[in-house]
């Protein structure tokens, strides 16, 4: 009787092991078949950039073209475009007591790479510049000036007898990154302070005129050089308002 029981138990055990092995094989096969190939993993990662025939085709609804700057900012030998655009919100049009109707809609830019058969979006920022109709106090408001030169983008504010300040950007890492800053604070023909910052070398140079009361152009400058801390380069697409940007003090 014991012998019969042992034989039956052995048969049941063997059947159970065989069934378990088949289940493992089946489960393993399912897992292998569901594993994606290398091609499948990367197949959806490539995003085809949109190409449009004309630069104006990139202007979004609610904006109009304001100005155009051309030049090769990605150094491929082709002339790229930067469109300055302006909002059209009617609530931003105000009536000034002395200057009449003023459009205070903010301005922005759209940078486009020339692809020979059309244009591809590089960088955009729709509202980083104030309007051209801001108050200038006792003098007119600073004038915005953009230029592409030697593969760099220069954004300058020129304030006549009060001087100027200028930002130097370079197209890299899929954005324009701030690599330089230069400014001159003037009193008429006399330069009071000159500031130059290189964010790549992290060097800041300030030339202070210690003879600022001169009226004959006899400025005497004292030079101060400081090392800036290591910071991530500021990207043009992240600047919300150039009027609030003070890289001279904060970087």
Any idea which residue has 């104006």 for tokens?
56
pLDDT score of 141: 82
Q: Is the pTM above the cut of 0.85? A: no
* Sign of the Cα pseudo-torsion (39, 44, 46, 51, in order): positive
d(CA 188, CA 203): 28
Domain-wise residue ranges, the chain: 2-43, 47-133, 136-251
pLDDT at 35 over 80: no
CB 119 within 8 A of CB 112: yes
Residue 19 pLDDT level (bands cut at 50, 70, 90): very low
- The gap from C-alpha 40 to its chain's centroid, in whole angstroms, comes to 32
What pLDDT digit, counting tens, does each position of 185-215 carry? 998 888 999 999 999 999 999 999 998 777 6
DSSP state, residue 197: E
DSSP state, residue 235: B
Residue 97 in 3-state DSSP? coil
d(CA 243, CA 144): 11
What pLDDT digit, counting tens, does each position of 84-96 carry? 999 999 999 999 8
11-20, 49-58, 96-105, range with the lowest pLDDT = 11-20
CB 144 within 8 A of CB 128: no
69: its two tokens:
């700057």
Higher pLDDT, 95 or 39: 95
What pLDDT digit, counting tens, does each position of 124-181 carry? 999 999 999 988 766 778 899 999 999 999 999 998 889 999 999 999 999 999 999 9
Task: Name the nearest CA neighbour of 161 among 137, 180, 181, 133.
Answer: 137
Q: How many CA atoms lie within 13 A of 82 on its CB side?
A: 26
């Amino acid at each position: 009787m014991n012998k019969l029981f042992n034989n039956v138990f052995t048969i049941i055990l063997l059947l159970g092991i065989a069934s378990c092995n088949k289940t493992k094989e089946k489960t393993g096969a399912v897992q292998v078949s569901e594993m994606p190939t290398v091609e499948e993993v990367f197949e959806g990662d490539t995003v085809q950039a949109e190409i449009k025939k004309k630069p104006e085709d990139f202007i979004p609804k609610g904006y109009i073209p304001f100005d155009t700057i051309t030049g090769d900012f990605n150094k491929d030998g082709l002339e790229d475009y930067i469109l300055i655009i302006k909002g059209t919100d009617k609530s931003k049009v105000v009536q000034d007591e002395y200057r009449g109707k003023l459009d205070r809609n903010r301005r922005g830019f759209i940078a486009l790479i020339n692809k020979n058969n059309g244009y591809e979006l590089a960088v955009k920022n729709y509202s980083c510049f104030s309007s051209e109709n801001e108050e200038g106090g006792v003098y007119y408001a600073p004038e915005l000036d953009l230029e592409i030169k030697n593969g760099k983008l220069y954004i300058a504010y020129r304030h006549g007898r009060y001087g100027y300040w200028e930002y130097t950007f370079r197209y890299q890492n899929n954005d324009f990154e701030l690599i330089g800053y230069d400014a001159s604070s003037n009193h008429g023909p006399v330069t009071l302070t000159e500031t130059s910052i290189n964010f790549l070398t992290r060097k800041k140079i300030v030339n202070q005129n210690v003879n600022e009361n001169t009226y004959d152009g006899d400025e005497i400058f004292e030079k101060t050089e400081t090392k800036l801390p290591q910071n991530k380069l500021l990207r043009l697409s992240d600047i919300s308002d150039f009027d609030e940007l003070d890289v001279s003090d904060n970087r």
